[in-house]
Structure 1
Amino acid sequence: MAKHRIFTTSFASVYPHYVAKAEKKGRTRNEVDEIILWLTGYSQEVLAARLEDQMDFETFFADAPHLNPARGLIRGVVCGVRVEDIKEPTMREIRYLDKLIDELARGKAMETILRKA
């Protein structure tokens, strides 16, 4: 079976859309970055380098230093699909990020988005 095209899409090409979605709703680029860093374990410097390198989504998540174990608490629907039901690991990670950005744009508090107790 062929890979989904999002896997080979540059993370840097989608990142501005995440930021624009957040900023349109009064949120900030720093909050988008905080979500990405929380989810992947990247540092701000390494995230900037990954964006500069035009790394694809598959590699971006495969190379993540520490995928946050609390990401399993992310539930809900993105693009009509329940994220917790997605079997393909890379697609699930991408949809986790999509869901978190959606929550940010909907005005949820960062503590809730980052699944803090």
Structure 2
Amino acid sequence: MVLACAALLLSGCDSAPERPAPTTPPPVTTSSPTTAASLTPVRRVFDAAQVQDGVRRVLTESYLIGGVGEVSCPAGEDVVAGHIFECTVDIAGEKEKVTITVRDAAGGYEVSQPEP
């Protein structure tokens, strides 16, 4: 029985897993410090400059896109799982957009392929 289970587990290792969208570590800032006496939750927002750097890195290193120039992301985007926003990217002189999808409350996010 144990060998059969092990064989099943190993057989699943031969197939290549589907590649998820590239993600970046969480660049997060908070708008105010948290205290034990706070009655309202602290709003957490992304640091736009760090998101821009992360987007550039994903486009050049994960998607292997050349000619990536200026990246512009909006300031003050909330760190909330499921939140979606767009950044504008200059690729070889053409303005394109990428969609950022926040994965989790820790600030992890996915970057889409660029679109005109």
Relative to the length of structure 2, the TM-score reads: 0.31
In terms of fraction of residues, the more helix-rich structure is: 1
Bigger strand share:
2
* Alignment TM-score, normalising by the size of structure 1: 0.31
Larger Rg: 2
Which structure would you say has the larger RCO, counting Cα contacts within 8 Å and 6 or more residues apart?
1
